[in-house]
Amino acid sequence: MQVNVHRLDPKVSLPTPAHPGDAGLDLAAAETVSIRPGERAAVSTGIAVEIPVGYAGLVIPRSGHARRQGITLVNSPGLIDSGYRGEIQVLLINHGDEVVQFDKGDRIAQLIIVGVPSVTWEEVIELGDSPRGDKGFGSTGR
């Protein structure tokens, strides 16, 4: 699949997988930012993308940052609709105990491109049965 990408900053890297076959494409910071404990930051990536109709981009946290520093995304996953053409920004939050700094070029999140089916809704009087039924939060922990 081809996804068109526009570098808003000629010095930033394009989204790339760390290893062949990886689902996540690394997104890098286009600026230096420090995030204090409990603080949120919208971090620029310096790129805009043209995701094809029928697909969406999901921005997800990097597991190493979450484990070592308590850094994750405020809105995980972040959603990039196919019609959006603005700069990708990553909404980071620091759940750790120390200030965390990301320098320009540091990997801050991952982007996954996923298929999104076209959905139509049909209102019905009653839903079909399933083994789970209406059992929700915590129902599988018993």
Statement: residue 138 has pLDDT above 90: no
The answer to whether position 133 is within a domain reads no
Phi, psi of 69 (to 5 degrees): -125, -5
What is the per-residue pLDDT across 10-33, written as a single tens digit (0 to 9) for each? 999 999 999 999 999 999 999 999
Contact 31, 41 (CB under 8 A): no
Q: What CATH number is associated with residue 14?
A: 2.70.40.10
Q: Which domain holds residue 67?
A: 4-115
pLDDT, the chain, mean: 94
The answer to whether position 88 is within a domain reads yes
The answer to whether position 122 is within a domain reads no
Token pair recorded at residue 53: 């109709």
43/9 Cα distance (integer angstroms): 14
The answer to whether position 85 is within a domain reads yes
The answer to whether position 139 is within a domain reads no
Place of tokens 């540091």: 106
Q: What pTM did the predictor assign?
A: 0.88
